């Protein structure tokens, strides 16, 4: 078959519309992948994935609003290691019983607390704030640098049932690490949920310098 005949045969195999279909298919695939990426990005930041605003079932419906807000109990009374350890600490049953051996002693709602105290078996709470195992977070260094509880946990003193206020995603952490002046406060106000600066834009940079807060955005700051 001559060269001209071969070309004619090839032209008969593929219809002219094939070129148009191919172009439409390629561009359609690009737009589909872009839309899929957008959907995945939105889903990853949604409360479905991050767990924000979800209150978990607990063995006892403990109210931070009542204890921290109405009664004014300091965070450190229950979270005893928050100033000295990476872990804030879950209160031992004895801490609960310091008060509840004298008040609400017959409450059926608090029976799990009394049983835990009698048997020595700790109360198994459902964890609310949880970062991946490959992320290192130290409560003590944040407290020492003047980052208030409310910056990460929100107004816990207003939560009837505790939930996660922020996404805890890497981009959320990095935003604070890049701009610590927006969040730092005097060290004596770290545990004061209601404290607000008169002028954070002025006070923030001063506290960053006074507390020796460095811009920790290198990988090993959190991934070790």
Same domain, 11 and 105: no
Instruction: Note whether residue 99 is domain-resident.
Output: yes
Distance CA 170, CA 165 (A): 15
Last residue of a domain, one of 74, 108, 124: 124
Instruction: Note whether residue 51 is domain-resident.
Output: no
Same domain, 181 and 204: yes
What is the separation of C-alpha 142 from the centre of its chain, rounded to a whole number of angstroms?
A: 15
State how many domains the chain has: 3
Whole-number Cα distances in Å, 17 to 4, 11, 182, 203: 22, 12, 59, 67
Instruction: Note whether residue 164 is domain-resident.
Output: yes
Same domain, 76 and 105: no
Question: Can you give the length of the chain in residues?
Answer: 224
As averages over each run of 10 residues, the pLDDT of the chain (224 residues) reads: 53 70 83 87 81 91 96 96 95 96 94 97 94 94 97 96 95 95 97 96 97 92 90
Coil, strand, or helix at residue 147? strand
Q: Greatest CA span in the chain, whole angstroms? A: 105
Same domain, 39 and 85: no
> What residues does 184 pair with on adjacent strands?
147
Joined tokens for residue 9: 């045969």
Instruction: Note whether residue 160 is domain-resident.
Output: yes
Whole-number Cα distances in Å, 213 to 60, 145, 178, 203, 217: 39, 6, 11, 14, 12
Same domain, 84 and 95: no
14 φ/ψ sector (left φ>0, alpha ψ -120 to 50, else beta)? beta
113 membership: H or E segment, kind and range = helix 111-119
Contact between 59 and 151 (Cβ < 8 Å): no
Distance CA 157, CA 166 (A): 16
Cα-trace Rg, the chain: 28
Instruction: Note whether residue 50 is domain-resident.
Output: no
Same domain, 169 and 138: yes
Full domain range(s) for residue 115: 91-124
Instruction: Note whether residue 55 is domain-resident.
Output: no
Instruction: Note whether residue 52 is domain-resident.
Output: no
Same domain, 100 and 166: no
The dihedral over CA atoms of 216, 217, 221, 224, expressed in degrees to the nearest 10, equals -170
Same domain, 181 and 202: yes
Same domain, 76 and 170: yes
Same domain, 68 and 38: no
Give residue 32's pLDDT.
87
Same domain, 116 and 156: no
Contact between 191 and 73 (Cβ < 8 Å): no
Instruction: Note whether residue 107 is domain-resident.
Output: yes
Same domain, 83 and 157: yes
- Burial tier of 3 (Cβ tally within 10 Å: 0-12, 13-18, 19+): exposed
Give residue 2's pLDDT.
52
């Amino acid at each position: 078959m001559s060269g001209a005949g071969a070309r004619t045969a090839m032209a008969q195999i593929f219809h002219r519309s094939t070129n148009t279909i191919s172009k439409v298919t390629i561009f359609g695939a690009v737009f589909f992948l872009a839309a899929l990426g957008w959907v995945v990005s939105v889903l990853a930041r949604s409360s479905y994935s991050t767990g924000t605003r979800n209150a978990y079932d607990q063995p006892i419906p403990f109210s931070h609003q009542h204890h921290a807000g109405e009664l004014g109990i300091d965070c450190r009374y229950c979270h005893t290691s928050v100033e000295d350890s990476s872990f804030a600490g879950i209160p031992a049953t004895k801490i609960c019983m310091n008060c509840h051996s004298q008040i609400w002693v017959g409450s059926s709602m608090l029976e799990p607390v009394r049983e835990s105290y009698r048997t020595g078996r700790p109360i198994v709470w459902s964890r609310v704030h949880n970062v991946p195992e490959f992320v290192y977070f130290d409560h003590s260094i944040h407290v020492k640098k003047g980052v208030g509880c409310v910056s990460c946990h929100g107004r816990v003193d207003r939560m009837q049932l505790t939930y996660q206020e922020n996404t805890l995603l890497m981009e959320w952490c990095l935003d604070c690490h890049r701009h610590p002046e927006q969040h730092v406060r005097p060290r004596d106000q770290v545990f004061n949920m209601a404290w607000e600066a008169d002028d954070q834009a002025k006070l923030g940079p001063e506290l960053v310098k006074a507390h020796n807060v460095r811009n920790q955005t290198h990988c090993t700051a959190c991934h070790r």
